[in-house]
């Protein structure tokens, strides 16, 4: 538990999908009296278990997990919501004399939280969101993404062109305020970071190993009922806005529409997941202070535990 004049210690386990973050986070929590805060933008939703690789009750091994299974898929949830929620959780966990450990691959969540980004409450002008949605339908996603690239190249670089929701949000911010999202981000950083942190990153020396693990994981998800979950998202795609854009579900929409085979959609999911892993790695490589570990090292847990022990001793 941090003294009143000290920064609270927070640990994080980050990296691309399928590197074993969940297992390492749980192991560290068991060794150091920790509780997990999930930093995953999709695991927050109830009922979306297989496609988000949500931690199972067995995998938690009794370690409390927060920010998992707390919202219905109709509910919008932003990085500002995450930083506010996680901030309160860190206080509570620290007050219990426990160690908060962030675990997840949503780089924007982890970075914004640890850097102390402050999000201004900005109300978009009435009707702007609807107008942008109508423009998307009329002009097409390529034109909207091109507009964002011209208005805010830095924001566009961090958003996948197919993530229409985030493209529209960034355009909405620009049109409502006249300021780039990237400018707001720079202006919203505090003079110093709010927490003392140790961030452990997991990766494989051989990229082919990661890609094989991703492919295997997709096959396993299909065995575990991913298709039924994706069908539920497809049937509710007008209200499950975030999930309908998420990797793991949208790849199967052509199959449900009778436009593609199940095999081709599964292959598309593997490809999308591999590309996402590359984007995750790029994000975390740009974050300063990440200590990288080989996910398949035989002594991974001991290496991570030694770093954690030294970090906690420093405090």
Q: How far is CA 311 from CA 73, 195, 203, 226, in A?
A: 37, 13, 21, 39
Instruction: Kindly state whether residues 236 and 264 are assigned to the same domain.
Output: yes
Longest dimension (CA), the chain: 61
pLDDT exceeds cutoff 90 at 160: no
pLDDT digits (tens, 9 = 90+) for 181-239: 767 666 677 888 999 999 999 999 999 999 999 999 999 999 999 999 999 999 999 99
Q: Residue 286 — very low, low, confident or very high, per pLDDT cuts 50/70/90?
A: very high
In a domain, 38, yes or no: yes
Instruction: Kindly state whether residues 215 and 241 are assigned to the same domain.
Output: yes
- Do 266 and 174 meet the contact criterion of CB atoms below 8 Å apart? no
In a domain, 1, yes or no: no
Instruction: Kindly state whether residues 110 and 217 are assigned to the same domain.
Output: yes
pTM of the model: 0.82
**Mean pLDDT of all residues in 112-130:** 79
CA distance 99 to 293: 21
Instruction: Kindly state whether residues 200 and 277 are assigned to the same domain.
Output: yes
Instruction: Kindly state whether residues 34 and 172 are assigned to the same domain.
Output: no
CA distance 78 to 69: 15
- Residue with the bigger pLDDT between 8 and 191: it is 8
Structural domains in the chain (count) = 2
In a domain, 113, yes or no: yes
Instruction: Kindly state whether residues 79 and 208 are assigned to the same domain.
Output: yes
Q: Which token pair is 275?
A: 């590309």
**Mean pLDDT of all residues in 149-164:** 82
E-only strand ranges, 93-226: 99-103, 195-203
In the prediction, which pLDDT does 4 show?
A: 44
The percent of residues in the chain predicted with pLDDT above 70, rounded, is: 95
- Do 102 and 12 meet the contact criterion of CB atoms below 8 Å apart? yes
pLDDT digits (tens, 9 = 90+) for 135-154: 887 888 888 989 998 888 88
Element (H, E) at 177: helix 164-177
Instruction: Kindly state whether residues 92 and 226 are assigned to the same domain.
Output: yes
Residue 297 maps to which CATH number?
Answer: 3.40.50.300
For 264, the domain range is 8-119+188-314
Instruction: Kindly state whether residues 83 and 158 are assigned to the same domain.
Output: no
E-only strand ranges, the chain: 8-14, 34-38, 65-66, 99-103, 195-203, 290-294
- Residue with the bigger pLDDT between 192 and 299: it is 299
Instruction: Kindly state whether residues 110 and 245 are assigned to the same domain.
Output: yes
In the prediction, which pLDDT does 154 show?
A: 81
- Do 80 and 41 meet the contact criterion of CB atoms below 8 Å apart? no
Residue 182 maps to which CATH number?
Answer: 1.10.20.140
Q: Residue 2 — very low, low, confident or very high, per pLDDT cuts 50/70/90?
A: low
Instruction: Kindly state whether residues 99 and 182 are assigned to the same domain.
Output: no
In the prediction, which pLDDT does 6 show?
A: 79
In the prediction, which pLDDT does 60 show?
A: 97
- Residue with the bigger pLDDT between 123 and 246: it is 246
């Amino acid at each position: 538990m941090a003294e009143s004049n000290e920064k609270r210690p927070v640990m994080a386990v980050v990296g691309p999908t399928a590197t074993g973050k969940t297992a390492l986070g749980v192991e560290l929590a068991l060794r150091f009296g920790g509780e997990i805060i999930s930093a995953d933008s999709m695991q927050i939703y109830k009922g979306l278990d297989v496609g988000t690789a949500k931690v199972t009750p067995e995998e938690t091994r009794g370690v409390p997990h927060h920010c998992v299974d707390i919202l219905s898929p109709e509910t919008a949830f932003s990085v500002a919501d995450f930083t506010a929620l996680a901030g309160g959780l860190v206080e509570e966990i620290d007050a219990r004399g426990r160690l908060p450990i962030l675990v997840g691959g949503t780089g924007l969540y982890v970075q914004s939280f640890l850097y102390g980004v402050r999000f201004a409450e900005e109300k978009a002008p009435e009707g702007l969101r609807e107008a942008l949605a109508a423009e998307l339908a009329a002009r097409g996603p390529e034109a909207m993404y091109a507009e964002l690239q011209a208005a805010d190249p830095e924001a566009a670089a961090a958003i996948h062109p197919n993530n229409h929701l985030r493209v529209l949000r960034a355009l909405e911010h620009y049109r409502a305020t006249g300021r780039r999202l990237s400018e707001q981000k720079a202006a919203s950083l505090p003079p110093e970071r709010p927490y003392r942190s140790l961030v452990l990153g997991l990766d494989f020396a051989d990229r082919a190993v990661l890609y094989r693990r991703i492919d295997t994981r997709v096959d396993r998800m299909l065995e575990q009922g991913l298709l039924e979950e994706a069908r539920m998202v497809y049937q509710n795609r007008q209200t499950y806005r975030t999930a309908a854009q998420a990797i793991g579900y949208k790849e199967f929409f052509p199959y449900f529409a009778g436009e593609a085979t199940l095999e081709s959609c599964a292959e598309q999911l593997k490809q999308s997941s591999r590309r996402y892993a590359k984007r995750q790695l790029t994000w975390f490589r740009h974050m300063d202070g990440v200590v990288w570990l080989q996910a398949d090292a035989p002594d991974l847990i001991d290496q991570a535990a030694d770093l954690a022990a030294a970090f906690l001793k420093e405090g």
